[in-house]
């Protein structure tokens, strides 16, 4: 297997330099139609009012997201100045995250020494952690295997005015998002059920988070026939990974469940090539769970949280599961298979039953589950379905705070009939193409009983075809920030 040539390690500091000339680039924010910030004011005075003249002539603007790179016309101070437009509206955590990321990302076309992000005087202190996190996520890309790295990372990124506590927290958030993205961006020949499981064991070695891996033999002993069925066509057998962070005393755990189909060919219901190209991303739900668990572990949260990843490779061979098969799941419910490309919900059937046995206070599952959710909500919005409106309101509140887009889809009872089977308890597809995201959720609802549960369909926002100013194309790490905030609160 090839080894990745991409390294995102970068030195983060909070101290301002004593040698002003050693700063290659100074990054400073500018509000639209506003006066210069203290940092810009200092440079303006050193240069005889040069920034004021640019501002008055309209050559320097504060429109949100507009980046203006200027050479500094003084013997002292930074070599270059990057002015980041902050817009007119109240600055949010999303602004802090995206604008910091966009600024750093714009500098990665050539080697840099020290870069200073002077956002402490423009963003509220409670947003400083995501200023740091955003800068780190800008340094992660999908070009893992280019001979010459396409992103040239600065030697050092400094955050003057940011506390060490916020720097450390931001580092954890950024690295956790990047870890989830890296897992999704890895080729399927590198990341498959067994190697995914081993990477989790390595990640949590020597931490308070314990990891248990169920191989194909343990899955058979546990009656996880649904996971085994999906993985039956592959030479790489399935796994179930359980990460347990139990630092919250006697409280019932929160359980996060991730769909981990490390490659989805569609099975015997074979996908066309164009639809299969990005199917390494079909384990993004599981990768998100790993990212959240890493953040929880590194931050030492005093909560009980368990992450479960159901892992399988959906391939084609003589041993593939077939249309018309009936599978008896771990819970005892039977599934009629009418489309082997609706495999994620089949994997989750057993994984959710394992979650249910942990006696949780709440279950949240994440899955790149349906194209129908993308038809309904587009590529940037997470579809949310639930049996507990209070639980979903908590997650919606966290998503709103972090600026991640989430929208609830209805779970009316009349959808139940669409997943009923004539020969088994349920079938793995609904009636026709209509309401596909909801009927998939209705299928999953059969495996959580009355426990509070939220299903997050991340098929759209988990993987991006095109880059954005603040992020490369490929995996996005969506919902890591939201779920961390929800669990903390």
Give the catalytic positions in this structure.
271, 345
- Does residue 336 contact residue 424 with C-beta atoms inside 8 Å? yes
Cα distances (Å, whole numbers) of residue 396 to 197, 278, 379, 431, 445? 30, 28, 18, 30, 20
Please tell me the distance from the alpha carbon of residue 222 to that of residue 224, in angstroms, as a whole number: 6
- 340 Rama class: left (phi>0) / alpha (psi -120 to 50) / beta: alpha
3-state helix, strand, coil in the chain (%, to 5): 35, 20, 45
Please tell me the distance from the alpha carbon of residue 59 to that of residue 339, in angstroms, as a whole number: 58
Q: Decide the pairing of beta strands 80-87 and 23-31.
A: parallel
Please tell me the distance from the alpha carbon of residue 227 to that of residue 232, in angstroms, as a whole number: 9
Which of 108, 113, 226, 96 has the alpha carbon at shortest distance from 162? 96
Contacts within 8 Å (CB) and 24+ apart, 190-195: 190/1, 190/2, 191/262, 191/280, 191/283, 192/236, 192/262, 192/263, 192/313, 193/231, 193/236, 193/237, 193/238, 193/239, 193/260, 193/262, 193/311, 193/312, 193/313, 194/236, 194/237, 194/239
Degrees to nearest 5, angle at CA 472 with 470 and 474: 135
Please tell me the distance from the alpha carbon of residue 193 to that of residue 230, in angstroms, as a whole number: 12
How far from chain centre, in Å, is Cα 273?
A: 26
């Amino acid at each position: 297997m090839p080894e990745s040539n991409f390294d995102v390690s970068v030195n983060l500091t909070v101290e301002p330099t004593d040698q002003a000339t050693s700063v290659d680039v100074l990054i400073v924010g500018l509000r639209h139609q506003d006066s210069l910030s203290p940092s810009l004011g200092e440079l303006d005075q050193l240069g005889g009012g040069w920034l004021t003249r640019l501002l008055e002539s309209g050559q320097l603007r504060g429109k949100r997201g507009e980046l203006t790179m200027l050479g500094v016309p003084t013997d002292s101070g930074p070599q270059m100045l990057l002015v980041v437009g902050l817009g007119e509206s109240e600055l949010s955590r999303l602004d802090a995250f995206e604008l910091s990321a966009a600024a750093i990302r714009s500098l990665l076309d050539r080697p840099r020494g020290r870069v200073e992000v002077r956002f402490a005087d423009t963003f509220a202190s409670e947003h400083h952690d995501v200023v740091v996190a955003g800068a780190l996520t800008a340094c992660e890309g999908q070009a893992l295997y280019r001979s010459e790295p396409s992103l040239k990372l600065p030697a050092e990124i400094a955050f003057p005015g940011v506390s060490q506590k916020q720097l450390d927290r931001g580092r954890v958030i950024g690295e956790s998002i990047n870890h989830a993205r890296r897992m999704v961006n890895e080729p399927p020949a590198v990341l498959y059920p067994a190697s995914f499981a081993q990477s989790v064991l390595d990640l949590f070695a020597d931490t308070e988070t314990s990891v248990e891996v169920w191989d194909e033999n343990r899955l058979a002993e546990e009656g996880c026939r649904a996971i085994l069925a999906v993985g039956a066509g592959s030479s790489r057998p399935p796994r179930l990974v359980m990460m347990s962070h139990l630092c919250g005393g006697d409280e019932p755990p929160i359980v996060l469940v991730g769909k981990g189909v490390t490659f989805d060919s569609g099975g015997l219901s074979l996908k066309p090539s164009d639809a299969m190209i990005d199917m390494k991303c079909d384990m993004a739900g599981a990768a998100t769970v790993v990212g959240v668990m890493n953040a929880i572990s590194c931050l030492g949260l005093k909560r009980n949280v368990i992450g479960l990843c159901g892992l399988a490779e959906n391939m084609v061979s003589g041993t593939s599961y077939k249309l018309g098969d009936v599978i008896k799941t771990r819970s005892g419910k039977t599934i009629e298979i009418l489309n082997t490309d609706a495999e994620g919900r089949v994997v989750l059937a057993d994984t959710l039953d394992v979650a249910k046995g942990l006696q949780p206070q709440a279950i949240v599952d994440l899955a790149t589950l349906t194209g129908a959710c993308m038809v309904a909500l587009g590529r940037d919005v997470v579809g949310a379905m639930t049996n507990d409106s209070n639980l979903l309101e908590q997650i919606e509140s966290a998503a709103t705070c972090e600026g991640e887009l989430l929208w609830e889809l209805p779970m009316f009872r009349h959808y139940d009939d669409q997943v009923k089977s004539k020969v088994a308890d349920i079938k793995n597809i609904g009636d026709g193409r209509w309401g596909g995201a909801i009927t998939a959720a209705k299928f999953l609802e059969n495996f959580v009983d009355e426990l509070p549960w939220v299903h997050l369909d991340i098929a759209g926002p988990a993987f991006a075809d095109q880059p954005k100013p603040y992020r490369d194309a490929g995996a996005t790490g969506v919902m890591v920030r939201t779920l961390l905030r929800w669990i903390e609160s």
